[in-house]
């Protein structure tokens, strides 16, 4: 079942029912008739297979599942409201358009945003193209601003459309998280985690975590999306991925939270037969005469390399590359040098293909950790995954001491 298979208006009413303690009072608050609200609540309970409220002579009290769903639904509404407050919001739109949006409209709009065309969105949702056009047009009227524009044979979102799409995705993730946690009888079935994996964590942390998590929750699904921080941060913000593991920024952006797991020490790496291999206390001048493979501009790895030669002319760096696999291959076939964690090339070092160059690097420490959206609340399965990440990182710290 998709998050938007649930009626948004009925989800919005849950907080009112919990706060007012009766269907009649809640119906007035959400501008629904009492019979309509009663039927809507009954449908939600049938769809989810649990009671959301306890009925008592003196009123209604939310069950733990009902309280959790009401809380998640409120957060989803907050994401929609933030999505509506886009950079190009029309002045004559409705005061709170997020209260008037329907699940059908949002599902259609999100499908269009993902597919990039009405044809693709129709195939993904089973809705007709006229129905999709109508849904997007209705959303544009609610927001009083264009959300999509034609680009050749496809469709591109406007700035306001991209902003709204982020809010819709995050709202869907909140509702989906509630749906997973609301059915404990299903165990891990339906649990889904999307992890953004930056280079270092793929060698040090993630493989062990995935193996342990699969043993504990064999029915859960984990998708690993590899990339650099720059490639992963927008999908994280959009709710496409749940968390990132890898090198942290020096200062976390205001909309992201960072939690340090380990502190990694960079070293100079070259091939085993490199002219500087085996020498003791290699001077900086000798390193400056070599050609280097460096990270892209603006990355922490690039900044560490530049700081290493602070006050001196930077050596030649004809290759900029963020792929550790590619870097390992080039190092093994040339006299290039690079800065890496020894854990990233441990197999090659053990095999005698690569080696560390004996240079006392001042600084060169990187904080490796977990990055999440501010306000992100994990499902039970996601929370267990994060706990395993922390445990594996703690074991890695102990092994190095």
pLDDT greater than 50 at residue 95: yes
Three-class SS string for 131-180? HHHHHHHHHHHHHCCCCEEEECCEEEECHHHHHHHHHHHHHHHHHHHHHH
Task: Round to whole Å and give the CA distance between 74 and 11.
Answer: 8
Q: What's the rounded mean pLDDT across residues 335-355?
A: 92
- Residues in Cβ contact with 279 at an 8 Å cutoff, skipping those fewer than 6 apart: 286, 357, 358
pLDDT greater than 50 at residue 90: no
CATH class of 187-262+367-400: alpha beta
E strand or H helix that includes residue 385: helix 380-400
Per domain, the residue ranges of the chain are 3-173, 187-262+367-400, 267-363
pLDDT of residue 88: 46
Determine if the pTM surpasses 0.75. yes
The CATH code that applies to domain 3-173 is: 1.10.10.10
Closest CA relative to residue 354, chosen from 293, 296, 310, 281: 293
Q: What's the rounded mean pLDDT across residues 349-371?
A: 91
Task: Round to whole Å and give the CA distance between 51 and 64.
Answer: 9
Q: What's the rounded mean pLDDT across residues 125-149?
A: 90
pLDDT greater than 80 at residue 208: yes
pLDDT of residue 94: 63
> What percentage of the chain exceeds 90 in pLDDT?
55
Q: Examine domains 187-262+367-400 and 267-363 and report if their fold is the same.
A: yes
The string of pLDDT tens digits covering residues 297-314 is 888 889 899 999 999 999
pLDDT greater than 70 at residue 401: no
- Determine phi and psi for 73, rounding to 5 degrees: -65, -40
DSSP 308: H
**Largest pairwise CA distance in the chain:** 86
| Domain 267-363 falls under CATH 3.40.190.10 | yes
Assess contact for 29 and 15: CB atoms under 8 A.
no
Supply the mean pLDDT for the chain.
89
Q: How confident is the model at residue 63 (pLDDT cuts 50, 70, 90)?
A: very high
- Sheet strands side by side (includes 267-271): 319-320, 292-294, 337-340, 267-271, 354-357
> What percentage of the chain exceeds 70 in pLDDT?
96
For the ranges 237-241, 311-315, 365-369, the lowest mean pLDDT is seen at 365-369
């Amino acid at each position: 079942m998709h998050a938007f298979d649930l009626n948004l208006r009925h989800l919005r009413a849950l907080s009112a029912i919990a706060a007012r303690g009766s269907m009649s009072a809640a119906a007035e608050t959400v501008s629904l008739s009492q019979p309509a609200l009663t039927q809507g609540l009954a449908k939600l309970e049938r769809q989810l297979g649990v009671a959301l409220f306890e009925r008592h002579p003196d009123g209604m009290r939310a069950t733990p599942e009902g309280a959790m769903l009401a809380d998640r639904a409120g957060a989803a509404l907050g994401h929609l409201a933030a999505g509506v407050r886009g950079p190009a919001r029309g002045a004559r739109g409705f005061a709170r358009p997020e209260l008037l949006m329907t699940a059908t409209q949002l599902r259609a709009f999100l499908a269009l945003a993902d597919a990039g065309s009405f044809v693709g969105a129709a195939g993904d949702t089973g809705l007709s193209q006229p129905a999709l056009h109508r849904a997007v047009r209705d959303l544009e009227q609610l927001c009083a601003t264009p959300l999509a524009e034609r680009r050749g044979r496809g469709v591109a979102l406007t700035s306001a459309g991209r902003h709204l799409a982020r809010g819709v995705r995050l709202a869907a993730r909140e509702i989906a998280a509630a749906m997973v946690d609301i059915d404990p009888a299903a165990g891990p079935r339906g649990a889904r985690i999307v992890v953004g994996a930056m280079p270092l964590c793929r060698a040090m942390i993630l493989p062990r975590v995935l193996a342990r998590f699969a043993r504990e929750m064999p029915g859960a699904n984990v998708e690993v999306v590899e990339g650099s921080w720059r490639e992963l941060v927008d999908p994280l913000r959009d709710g496409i991925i749940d968390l990132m593991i890898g090198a942290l920024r020096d200062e976390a952006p205001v909309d992201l939270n960072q939690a340090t797991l380990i502190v990694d020490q960079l070293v100079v790496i070259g091939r085993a037969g490199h002219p500087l291999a085996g020498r003791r206390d290699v001077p900086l001048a000798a390193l400056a005469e070599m050609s280097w493979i460096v990270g892209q501009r603006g990355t922490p790895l690039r900044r560490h390399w530049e700081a290493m030669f602070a006050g001196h002319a930077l050596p030649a760096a004809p290759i900029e590359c963020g792929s550790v696999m590619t870097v390992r291959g080039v190092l093994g076939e040339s006299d290039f040098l690079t800065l890496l964690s020894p854990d990233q090339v441990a197999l090659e070092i053990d095999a005698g293909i690569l080696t560390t160059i004996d240079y006392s690097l001042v600084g060169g420490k990187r904080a490796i950790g977990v990055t999440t959206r501010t306000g992100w609340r994990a499902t039970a399965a996601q929370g267990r995954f994060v706990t395993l990440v922390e445990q594996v990182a703690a074991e890695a710290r102990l092994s190095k001491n």
